[in-house]
Amino acid sequence: MHPSISALIRAAIVEDVGTGDVTSLYFIPETSRSQAEIVAREPGIVSGAEIAVTVFKEIDPALEVGACIPDGSPFERGSILMKATGSTRSLLTAERTALNFLQRLCGVATQTRKYVDAVKPHPVQVWDTRKTTPGWRLLEKNAVKHGGGTNHRMGLYDHAMVKDNHLAANGDLTALQAAIHKLRAERPGVRIQLEAATLKQVADFLTLDGVEMLLLDNMTPDQQREAVKLVNGKLWLEASGGITLDTIKNVAATGVNAISVGALTHSARALDLALDLF
């Protein structure tokens, strides 16, 4: 597990438990033992099973915990996602933090699967964005993969995206070419992508050497089709901007290679999951 995720789990436990779970400490006998199941109240896609297990084990290493359905798998209403046995106090103390992680990440995976299913049968990838919950990026992007989506850049360090504000500050084609050559020489592993809001920009950017991808920003499907013809397979094309479940199939039909959707992460609803104790 990545150190940042381990730290996030510990911080979430401290946030919730603080100096101690006073309800369980005072109302549950120390010797009490129970079994618990995390049950789905609605269908979805699993993500975050390992995280939820880790929460329980962080609270009490003696707990016996296991996921019943692996990450990336579909489940129905009533499905048992996880089982745990041990100290009742520990189970109840871990309950909310474990559910918070699992509900959120299942929500992202489930949302992603809806978008992935919506583009069929077109051979287009559904990409996430950097519009993630601060501190949760690795988890949410992993949930996107569990839902069948594809990760775009992880951050500002692994993929150069020259967007409208960059172009407004330094958009001269000669300057762009010089910057591309410099980046290629100094950081050869970094992908380079330019954002185009017009077909003229698409044509201009095709004259540059070293560009791998173009982002077609807020273009209509007709404009996207024209861009696909202009590029003619020379560059990877990503469509982006206000794309919804209702519109994504029309975008997929234009021939672009990928469609990025911020809603995969920033608008995913936490799934309805519950812990039942017995």
Cβ 211 vs Cβ 180: under 8 Å: yes
Q: List the beta bridge partners of residue 125.
A: 258
Helix axes 137-146, 88-118, angle to 10 degrees: 60
> Is 269 in a helix, a strand, or coil?
coil
> Is 195 in a helix, a strand, or coil?
strand
- Beta strands 258-260; 273-277: pairing state: unpaired
Tally helices (H) and strands (E) across the chain.
11, 12
Q: Annotated catalytic sites, by residue?
A: 96, 131, 163, 195, 217
Cβ 17 vs Cβ 9: under 8 Å: no
Q: List the beta bridge partners of residue 15.
A: none
Instruction: Find, among 83, 50, 40, the residue nearest to 64 by Cα.
Output: 83
> Is 206 in a helix, a strand, or coil?
coil
